[in-house]
Amino acid sequence: MAPKVPGTFGANAIAMTPVKRVCLLGAESTGKTTLAGDLATAFGSLVNPEYGRPYTAIGRVPGAPWTSEEFTHIARVQCWYEDFLADYAHGVLFCDTDAFTTAVFHEVYLGRPAEKFGDLITRPYDLFVVCGLDVPWRGDGIRQFEDQRRWMHERYLERARASGRPWLEVTGAREPRLAAAEAAVRELLTVG
């Protein structure tokens, strides 16, 4: 196996890292962060946290229009940190989001597809967990796309289906979601 080159990311970095990666997808306020944390606790491993949220909260001028460069920055940092954490995870890394999600938000905010980080949008994962829409939307000052949840959800399902990788949609309360996701991760770790 070739050594991982520090500072690189993209499809090749994934192939060089033996840890399994589980990507959580879902529209705003569907429980991705909660589920990622619960899974990391259950498996004694790590979560790659969402970078877009803290960037939005403290890294930009409030009310300023978004730029394509900001989304490119978010996607690249998100993937860089994912690759960094993969070296420290215990068998499996839970990713609270991915560059595809950043591309979806690029489209929502700017009205056009992202073009500058296409290599990251299609990066492979070992398992996708799509969080269902059956939990209430909760505004928090950053979330603002309640009316776009269904459209976003369909995009995430499309991504999971088209990946060619195992995936599942989790619904219900916190415990059934966790139980279903845990079972899928255990199967992934047993098979892989």
Residue 45, in any domain of the structure? yes
Yes or no: say if 20 and 192 are a contact pair by the CB < 8 Å rule: yes
Task: Output the pLDDT for position 96.
Answer: 95
Over residues 97-123, mean pLDDT: 92
Residue 10, in any domain of the structure? no
pLDDT of residue 59 exceeding 90, the answer is: no
Residue 6, in any domain of the structure? no
What predicted TM-score, i.e. pTM, was given to this entire model? Answer: 0.86
The three-state DSSP-derived secondary structure of 166-191 is: CEEEECCCHHHHHHHHHHHHHHHHHH
Q: Return the H-helix or E-strand segment holding 127.
A: strand 127-131
Residue 98, in any domain of the structure? yes
> For 130-186, how does the pLDDT look when each residue is reduced to its tens digit (9 = 90+)?
999 998 766 655 556 667 789 999 999 999 999 999 999 999 999 999 999 999 999
Query: What is the biggest distance separating any 2 CA atoms in the chain, rounded to whole angstroms?
Result: 48
Over residues 38-63, mean pLDDT: 90
> For 22-33, how does the pLDDT look when each residue is reduced to its tens digit (9 = 90+)?
999 998 889 999
Counting the structural domains of the chain, the total is: 1
- What span, in angstroms and rounded, lies between the C-alpha atoms of 93 and 168? 17
Residue 54, in any domain of the structure? yes
Residue 15, in any domain of the structure? no
Percent of the chain with pLDDT over 70: 85
- CATH of residue 185's domain is 3.40.50.300
Domain membership of residue 168 as a residue range = 20-191
Q: How far is CA 95 from the centre of its chain?
A: 5
Residue 97, in any domain of the structure? yes
48 backbone dihedrals φ, ψ, rounded to 5°: -85, 110
The pLDDT mean for the chain works out to 87
Q: Binning pLDDT at 50, 70 and 90, where does residue 52 land?
A: confident
> For 101-113, how does the pLDDT look when each residue is reduced to its tens digit (9 = 90+)?
999 989 988 999 9
Task: Output the pLDDT for position 71.
Answer: 92
Residue 4, in any domain of the structure? no
Q: Return the H-helix or E-strand segment holding 23.
A: strand 20-25
